[in-house]
Amino acid sequence: MEQPSKLKNVASPVSTGSAGSDYEHRVAAYYLAMALLRSVPLGQEAGIAREVRFQRLYEGEPLDDLIIISDLPTGEAKLALQIKRDLTFGVRDKAFDEVIRACWETFKSPKFALGIDRFGIVVALYSKKIDEHYKSVLAWARNSDNATDFLSRISKERLSHKAQRSFVKLIRTKLDSYLGRSVSDDDLWNFLRWMVILRLDFHQDGSEAYTSIVGLLRYLLPPEQMTESPRLFGQLVAYAAEAERAAGSFDSSTLRQRLITDGFALLPDPNCREDLSRLQEHAIFVLGGIRTDIGGLVLSDH
């Protein structure tokens, strides 16, 4: 009897790296969509996404995968991100060490606007511990008046979870090693305040992130072409791959023009910059109309 031939070994896309590249391009396409939609980008709490920049190490950006620029009424905000399909948050993990070092260098850069800019990591896969406890550490840091208040609350066993304390210890250990000395409590607190850990599950078909962004892109298309939104997202993925290879960038206007040239019929672009300007003018008007006295009694503004 003829022996069946042995099956040829086929390497997994994950092991060959193509899955990681595909994931990065989809995450980048997600942020291109945010710029196109003129939405608040994931990772920022305010601002309207305007531009996405790729591979900016040559400009001195340690977190160089993506730089997202957003418009604020008073200027602009920057979100610097490293994209990892999977990342182990461990003291001996080389990839984690490289990412946190890049985060630290971003945080200490003279170009980093404290209180406005953000930096961090986008991952597809992470544990419940990261989702429930590590991310909550960042929220606690942002909701603390100062380093003493933050570290005091984190250190209390009945108030915080041991996983929260473990994460703070892990980050402190990493920062100590980069500095060659003990990091100050203020630097540790501020580092955690402006760090973000984001999850976008583009590693699997029909994911929540994919469904959400494709649903939003429908509103850029005429009613009779709304079913074209998956193809529109696919085109953004292609643009992201191209921009990554060229260390390029797209802003909302050039992105729209490129899509129109490539055959997409987009609805008119709402000018969100004008909206921001009008909002600022309205705020000034309202504040100017607030009385500071009642019957001759002057009210303090403190």
Domains of the chain: total: 1
Whether residue 256 is contained in a domain is answered as yes
Whether residue 89 is contained in a domain is answered as yes
Whether residue 239 is contained in a domain is answered as yes
pTM of the model: 0.81
Q: What is the pLDDT along the chain (302 residues), one digit of tens a residue?
A: 444 433 333 333 343 345 558 999 999 999 999 999 999 999 998 999 999 999 998 888 999 899 999 999 999 999 999 999 999 999 999 999 999 999 999 999 999 999 999 999 999 987 888 989 999 999 999 999 999 999 999 999 889 999 999 999 999 999 999 999 999 999 999 999 999 999 999 987 778 999 999 999 999 999 999 999 999 999 999 999 999 999 999 999 999 999 999 999 999 875 544 544 555 565 555 555 555 455 555 444 44
Whether residue 52 is contained in a domain is answered as yes
Backbone φ and ψ of 41, nearest 5°: -75, 145
Residue 239's domain spans which residues?
A: 13-125+200-302
Give the whole-angstrom CA distance, residue 107 versus residue 187: 9
70 forms bridges with which residues in the sheet? 49, 77
CA atoms within 13 A on the CB side of 81: 28
Give the whole-angstrom CA distance, residue 237 versus residue 33: 10
- Rounded mean pLDDT of the chain? 86
Whether residue 119 is contained in a domain is answered as yes
Query: Between the CA of residue 83 and those of 4, 193, 196, 244, 245, what are the distances in Å?
Result: 43, 20, 12, 12, 15
